[in-house]
Structure 1
Amino acid sequence: MASSDADVLKEINAFLACETPQAWLQRALCEPEILLIDHANCEKKAASTALRMMFRYVEHTDLLNKMSRLAREELRHFEQVLAIMQARGVEYRHLSASGYASRLHQHVRTWEPARLVDQLIIGAFIEARSCERFAALAPLLDEELSAFYLSLLRSEGRHYRGYLELARNSSSEPVEDRIVFFRELERAAIEEEDPDFRFHSGVPISTQAEDLDASGQFVVS
């Protein structure tokens, strides 16, 4: 990992309240197809979110410029994931959405500019968590996927910073209290049990006792 990428990751880890649990990493190794399919879905949804904000907030020139660039990059990432899937014979099929984003969005305030600020803060957390998971997965994956995930750190880190900067610039008041509020919600979504494995899901509910160590956690070999 380049020093600049390491600096981005250090900043992101300080922004997030927790690391990805070992149980999630173990499940990711056992579910490579779902990991890739839902990663592709995440890239599409990220592009869709950026476009939706561009249509809603046409008076915010800085937002329009940043979201336009972000949407293009996210769609390019989607194409890259799709190409990897095709090369590996992974069929792109429908998957139900993770509850991760909805857990955050249900707490978005309904008046402006508070609504915009909250959505931007949530975007920062989603991008930051993606970076953290790319870095956590990279040492455990094959050479191609490892290199690809590490290559995403810089652009996704830029997206995280962009969302956070827009949130601060869109409010006449400090937004730190809202960041703290959503940080705790995000931590709970990552550390609590989750019935479905997805790219942003929480701790998988195990049905295989042999995958657990004495503390009840999955063991990553």
Structure 2
Amino acid sequence: MTAALDAIHSFLPCRTPQRWIENALANQDLMLIDHAHCEKKAASTALSLMYRYVDNPDLLNKMSRLAREELRHFEQVLAIMKKRGVIYDHLTPARYAAGLRQAVRSEDPGRLVDVLIVGAIIEARSCERFAALAPHLDDRLAEFYNSLLKSEARHYRDYLTLAEQAAGESIDGRVAAFLAIEQRLIEEPDTEFRFHSGPVSD
């Protein structure tokens, strides 16, 4: 797992700010609620790709597996929340995913390439944050977050591989453009804490 995490650290433009980790530790109930939403949204994204691109067998197989895994993670987060007396409820979304998707092209194949790149970045950041948080959490939650690293790292690689296949050429330029957006979203101050928010000041 160390090699996979090293690859993700090399891929992402920055590490999670220490201030965000402090925010997360001070808002663990909120973190769990938003984490559940993130898992559900990840499954929904995978399913929407399956509905839209029915002629891409590799995508169909990878997204089917990904959706099942994300829904399983969703169930696991809900179980942890239930044991802790945390109520699952609606939350306003972070600006993160919407901020990344603003740069997605409107026509295929560019649209598909960009959506897959965004998926790769979100999965990579999730993996990086699970690893950053785990040493600071109680044993049960640390064990759970560490258990997610392998699948999140694989999801990131699957998304990037599919993006390269869809493009049929180098995607380095598009990846760099989205990573520049991602760095701003991760490092700039945010107004409310979410799993993919920037740091929130008091």
The count of residues paired between Structure 1 and Structure 2 equals 202
Aligned position for 2:172: 176
Aligned position for 1:141: 137
Residue 54 (structure 2) aligned to one of 33, 52, 58: 58
Aligned position for 1:124: 120
How far, CA to CA, are the matches of 1:200 and 1:56 in structure 2?
Answer: 26
How far, CA to CA, are the matches of 1:119 and 1:162 in structure 2?
Answer: 13
Matched, 1:26 2:22: yes
In the TM superposition, what whole-angstrom CA distance separates every residue of 1:113-135 from its partner, at most 9, and x where no partner exists?
00000000000000000000000
Q: Could you say which structure has the larger radius of gyration? A: 1
Matched, 1:84 2:80: yes
Residue 4 (structure 2) aligned to one of 4, 8, 12: 8
How far, CA to CA, are the matches of 1:169 and 1:185 in structure 2?
Answer: 23
Q: Which runs of 5+ in 1 are unaligned?
A: 208-221
Matched, 1:160 2:156: yes
Runs of 4+ in 1 over 4 A off after TM superposition: none
In the TM superposition, what whole-angstrom CA distance separates every residue of 1:47-96 from its partner, at most 9, and x where no partner exists?
00000000001111100000000000000000000000000000111111
Matched, 1:93 2:86: no
Q: Name the structure where helix makes up a greater proportion of residues.
A: 2
Residue 109 (structure 2) aligned to one of 110, 113, 122: 113
Q: CA deviation at 1:173?
A: 2.1
SS in structure 2 of the partner of residue 54 of structure 1: helix
Q: In percent, how many aligned pairs have the same letter?
A: 60
Whether the 8 Å contact between 2:23 and 2:199 is mirrored in structure 1 is no
Letter in 2 for 1:102: A
Q: Which runs of 5+ in 2 are unaligned?
A: none
TM-score, structure 2 normalization? 0.99
How far, CA to CA, are the matches of 2:17 and 2:86 in structure 1?
Answer: 26
Aligned position for 1:191: 187
Q: CA-atom RMSD, angstroms? A: 0.5
